[in-house]
Amino acid sequence: MPTAETMSRRSSTNELTPEATHVYHDHTSEAAPPTSALRDFHPGWYGAVMGTAVIAIVAMQNPGGFTGLAASTRVIAQVITILSIVLAIGLLVPYLARIVWHFDAAAATLRDPVQGGLYGTLPGGILVIAATMAVVGPTWFASNTVRSIVSALDWVGVPTALAISVVFAYLLFVHPSVNIEVVNGSWFIPPVVNVIVPLVILPLMPGSSPATARALLFMSYAFWGVGFVLYVMILAMLFQRLIVHPLPHAALAPSLWIGLGPIGVGTVTLVKMAAAGAALYGPVDPSIEVFSNLFATALWGFGAWWLIAATILLVRYLRTGPLPFGIGWWAFTFPLGAYTTATLVLAQSWDLSALRWFGAGLAVVLALFWLAVTARTIVALTVRSRRATLRVPSLPRGG
């Protein structure tokens, strides 16, 4: 039977576990050294790239199917694509500079069970931009040019995504003490970037030889398996952690929304892989497409449950006090964008107007979240006293 002390602990959403205390101490109460900005550059910054680029993918789908808005949503998608590319290039410089000049701090962050998974946002950002170029690129360039751009981004993003997922898992395996209470939604990031891989490999199939097309489709399903199985295992750990331990500290509340990412991307990739393989499956293609759509729909249904649960928990957090702002707020954007995209894709597959309208509603919520997080990020960057909220804590030299 739970004791009064246990119930008291569960009622608090601002309590820190000993393992996570060093991550969430109050930055604003201490003066950071002038040279610490690069050393403490946050590994989750590319979450902003993912959260921005996905807006373009959603906009290109013209949520709601308004014919009169098709041109406007295309322009929005083009502008957001440019913005996400500029953001990615601008962030890549300090990202790589920290690894080169402050390797000890970068390595220590990667080994940290709470923060290490955030490195997955780097390949995630690259792959989401590749997926965006596959969708928006044809409005600017010839198909061969788009294919070349996507392929170039794939050569960087795909191996990096796989490497990050393996390295982070290995570091968790060999960590001397990983308490179940440090399990959080950021652990979903390495899996989800592998689930994104099919979306950037499938656009390379048109124009490829039959052998190459089969290899690309094979890789798509393989990466989907890597990401989705990892997601299921981490989901089980997080579910246990939420039930038998106090809720995560409020700073980790946005990370619970990351669970929507693998669901949304996984749903879209299932439908896209089935369609892309139509010429290769032969007479069994109709069966594969039906099965893929049914499984994708079941996965989407779990996403609806997760969205409701994450919303209820967010309300609970807000009732106990304001959420401390940080880079983690970008977790409200990409996962919801992925789920919105999945909703619109299934609305088309099932030809359901109600689902299409629901997707349009999600798109509006996504836009509001993106505007709010972008505004808070700009304020944090421009107001000196708040810049520390965008950094990781200074880590000891030598990791």
Give whole-number Cα distances, 232 to 103, 138, 238, 339, in Å: 32, 35, 10, 17
DSSP-derived secondary structure letter, 34: T
**Predicted local confidence at residue 385, as pLDDT:** 60
Per-residue model confidence (pLDDT) at position 79 = 97
Residue 117's pLDDT band (boundaries 50, 70, 90)? Answer: very high
Is 219 in contact with 150 (CB distance < 8 Å)? no
Cβ-based neighbour number of residue 41 at 10 Å:
21
Name the band, by pLDDT with cuts 50, 70 and 90, for residue 3: very low
Average pLDDT over residues 56-76: 91
How do residues 11-41 score in pLDDT, each as one tens digit? 444 444 444 444 444 443 344 444 467 888 9
Cβ–Cβ < 8 Å for 6, 84: no
Please tell me the predicted confidence (pLDDT) of residue 25.
40
% of the chain with per-residue pLDDT over 90: 75
Average pLDDT over residues 264-288: 91
What pTM did the predictor assign? Answer: 0.89
Asked if residues 168 and 190 have their Cβ atoms less than 8 Å apart, the reply is: yes
* Domains of the chain listed by start with CATH number: 33-390 (1.50.10.150)
Q: Directed axis angle between helix 121-136 and helix 70-101, to 10°?
A: 150
The more confidently predicted of residues 266 and 15 is 266
Which has the minimum average pLDDT: 97-101, 174-178, 384-388?
A: 384-388
The string of pLDDT tens digits covering residues 364-377 is: 999 999 999 999 99
Whole-number Å distance between alpha carbons of 74 and 60: 6
Alpha carbon distance 179, 248 (integer Å): 13
What is the DSSP track for 271-326? HHHHHHTHHHHGGGHHHHHHHHHHHHHHHHHHHHHHHHHHHHHHHHHHHHSPPPPS
Distance CA 144, CA 334 (A): 28
> What local confidence, expressed as pLDDT, does residue 269 receive?
97
217-243 tens-digit pLDDT: 999 999 999 999 999 999 999 999 999
Mean predicted lDDT score pLDDT of the chain:
88
> For residue range 246-264, what is the model confidence (pLDDT) as tens digits?
999 898 899 999 999 999 9
Residue of 132, 131, 227, 247 whose CA lies nearest to 187: 227
Query: What pLDDT, on a 0 to 100 scale, did the predictor assign at position 38?
Result: 85
Q: Counting Cβ atoms within 10 Å, is residue 25 exposed (0-12), middle (13-18) or buried (19+)? A: exposed
Backbone angles phi, psi at 41, to 5 degrees: -60, 130
323-353 residue pLDDT tens? 899 999 999 999 999 999 999 999 999 999 9
**In this predicted model, what pLDDT tens digit does every residue of 280-304 receive, in sequence order?**
888 888 899 999 999 999 999 999 9
Work out the average pLDDT over 269-285. Answer: 89
Which of the four pLDDT bands, split at 50, 70 and 90, describes residue 387? low
> Ranked by mean pLDDT, which of 67-76, 125-134, 169-178 comes out on top?
125-134
